[in-house]
Structure 1
Amino acid sequence: MTPTPAPVQPLPVGVIGLGDIAQKAYLPVLTALPGLDLRLMTRDRAKLDRLADAYRVPARFTELDALIGSGIRAAFVHAATDQHVAITERLLDAGVDVYVDKPLDYHLAPARRLVEQAERLGRSLAVGFNRRHAPGYTQALERPRDLIILQKNREGLPERARTLVFDDFIHVVDTLRFLLPGEVDQVDVRYRKKGGLVEHLVLTLAGDGFTALGVMNRLSGSTEEVLEVSGGDSKREVRNLAEVVDHRGQPTVRRRGDWVPVARQRGIEQVVTAFLDAVRAGRTLDATDALRTHELCELIVERIGE
């Protein structure tokens, strides 16, 4: 008789911080994936019990040391940005592979320290740049990209440079870097600042035969995200990560299917799965490229001024 294979043990995974991004984007994905032994952590006991009850998660923690001591192999860090470094350092030191919401930190030096620590310890460190996995954006890699324009606008939300750039514009910076067809040899930053708050920001990245523009208007009258890539007498437009319009003569429009989850449309499902697959396979994920995005964000802040 062929012996019965041993059952595969669920992967013990911690989720640290149960705020808005965890609730909207990550918990619905993680709790639907098979083969995970989820363990939730937040210092807010009422929130912890409410969400753990809703998702039927029995393992609940209010202290990081207790969560680490439970034997987790991987962790998703969704705590406030100013807590990322301290939490991630302890996880890496404990031999845990870590996925962190962007940014690693509001300043470059601590972010670099985390990347170096992960490399030294041989642990995975992944940063939540989900747009690199969003179908509308990954499919843009198939197109000529002589000119790339990405707008991510907001309504009535001017903000100080460092938090605007590292909390929000970082998605624009990283997505442009992901789509660039070559090396950048020119960086230009233009902005409007009033009363210490940035109202709009334009980043230009240029290289041999291409130009990329990242635009954020915090007084645009609407919340929207629009990507355009063009070249070879054709253009592809992606609106709010859901609607794809190809322009070559008569435009053709493709919209997200009615049953396609928003998390898949935005790349959350794919980036989570990629991280967990690497953990299971013992494959180390390197955050060096994510650090380059943080370096460019620091340069932008320096150009604008705090």
Structure 2
Amino acid sequence: MAVGVIGLGDIAQKAYLPVLAAQPGIDLRLMTRDRAKLDRIGDTYRLPQRYTDLGELIGSGIRAAFVHAATDQHVPIVEQLLTAGIDVYVDKPLDYHLDGARHLVDLADRRGRSLMVGFNRRHAPGYLLAAERPRDLIVLQKHREGLPEAARSVVFDDFIHVVDTLRFLVPGEIEHVDVRARTRGGLVEHLVLTLAGEGFTALGIMNRVSGSTEEVLEVSGGDAKRVVVNLSEVIDHKGQPSVRRRGDWVPVARQRGIEQIVTGFLDAVRAGKTLSAQDALRTHELCELIVERIESA
């Protein structure tokens, strides 16, 4: 099966190409406008089909594509792929603005093509373990060191993972949304999201000037708590804590859910199963609401 990879930046090189290159029965074809990078990575993986033009890549007969280009290029690239009848996997976010995201999801539905957004945490083993437990209270903290930014880039580039993971984990309908943020000089330094519904509360917390880069999930209920640290260490609290760590030979891509989401997408393409991005669009809608509340405060 011929599969295109569009955009060969850090995320493609570190996370996706090692997984894709290991998949059986996949004929990978690379595309980027940077010829030197294209040849260097093509040589590394011994992939002869290399393109600097999207139209030529589409014309080569690809059946599916992974889009890792810059976010501001997602709409024109994904639009061209979907219009050509190609199933698409795209990095989050679909676009920095809700209208662009909605346009792509609606286009995919009209064309009957799959559109999957790279919310890999829904497939991470530690977070799937967390989803097995009672979840009266969910707290997800994702912090950065020295990275205050404008609200839209913070929310859609990074906090969107927190938003989508909380939506995945909450055990019922969200009835209340609260947003609190501290900005300085127009840049967001920290952000707290509260989602609540019948019997549960979920908190998403991000500090962009925290002094460290970390991600910690806590779910509690039924007088027990499960904690997942940096997607690799799972700690159960009920009496004496018990700890499970990522095995020495478990790939990081598997621990972060990237391997699973990639194979899930490819399996759907092979089977002719159409994957809808409507639920991913709900995450983008909530992110747009968060940005509006921050900017109007």
Q: TM-score range by the shorter chain?
A: over 0.9
Percent same amino acid at aligned positions? 80
Structure-2 residue corresponding to 1:77: 67
Q: Distance in 2 between matches of 1:233 and 1:132?
A: 25
CA drift at 1:139: 1.2
Equivalent residue number for residue 218 of structure 1: 208
Which residue of 234, 240, 256 maps to 2:246? 256
Picking from 100, 119, 128, the partner of 2:118 is 128
Distance in structure 1 (CA, Å) of the matches to 2:51 and 2:109: 28
Rounded to whole Å, the distance in 2 between the matches of 1:52 and 1:213 is: 43
- Give 1:237's aligned residue: 227
What one-letter code is carried by the residue in structure 2 that aligns with 1:143?
R
Question: One-letter code of the match for 1:19?
Answer: G
Residues of 2 paired with 1:122 and 1:138: CA distance?
29
Match of 2:47 among 37, 57, 63: 57
Which digits, 9 at most, give the CA deviation of each residue in 1:85-125, with x for residues without a partner?
00000000000000000000000001001000000000000
Partner of 1:143: 133
- How many angstroms apart in 2 are the aligned matches of 1:254 and 1:120? 45
Q: Distance in 2 between matches of 1:138 and 1:229?
A: 12
Structure 2 SS opposite 1:142: coil
Matches within 5 A, 1:1-16: 11-16=1-6
Aligned residue for 1:57, secondary structure, equals: coil
SS in 2 for 1:305: helix
Q: Kindly indicate whether residue 206 of structure 2 is the aligned counterpart of residue 203 of structure 1.
A: no
Does 2:11 correspond to 1:18?
no
The 3-state SS of whatever aligns with 1:181 is coil
1:301 corresponds to:
291
Runs of 4+ more than 6 Å apart:
none
- CA drift at 1:58: 0.8
- Aligned residue number for residue 95 of structure 2: 105
State the match for 2:79 in structure 1. 89
Question: C-alpha displacement at 1:141, in angstroms?
Answer: 1.2
Partner secondary structure for residue 290 of structure 1: helix
Name the SS of the counterpart of 1:271 in structure 2: helix
Equivalent position to 2:272, from 282, 287, 290? 282
Q: State the alpha-carbon separation in 2 of the partners of residues 59 and 249 from structure 1.
A: 57
How much has 1:220 moved relative to structure 2? 0.6
Deviation at 1:215, TM superposition (A): 0.2
Alignment length (residue pairs): 296
Q: 2:8 is paired with a residue of what secondary structure?
A: coil
Q: Deviations over 1:245-297 (max 9, x none)?
A: 00000000000000000000000000000000000000000000000000000
CA deviation after TM superposition for structure 1 residue 140, in Å:
1.0
Tell me how far apart the structure 1 counterparts of residues 66 and 236 of structure 2 sit (CA, whole Å). Answer: 36
Distance (Å, rounded) in 1 between the aligned partners of 2:43 and 2:257 = 27
Task: Specify the alignment match of 2:164 in structure 1.
Answer: 174
Out of 38, 43, 53, the position equivalent to 2:28 is 38
- Rounded to whole Å, the distance in 1 between the matches of 2:99 and 2:266 is 27
Counterpart of 2:131, as a letter, is L
Aligned counterpart, 2:256: 266
Offset from partner CA, 1:15-47 (integer Å, 9 cap, x none): 000001001100010011111000000000000
Q: Give 5+ residue unaligned stretches, structure 1.
A: 1-10
| Aligned counterpart for 2:108 among listed residues 110, 118, 123 | 118
In 2, Cα distance between equivalents of 1:81 and 1:238: 29
* 3-state secondary structure, aligned to 1:198: strand
Other-structure match for 1:8 = none
**Mapped partners of 1:210, 1:303: distance in 2:** 23
Per-residue CA distance 1:195-227 (angstroms, 9 max, x = gap): 000000000000001000000000111000000
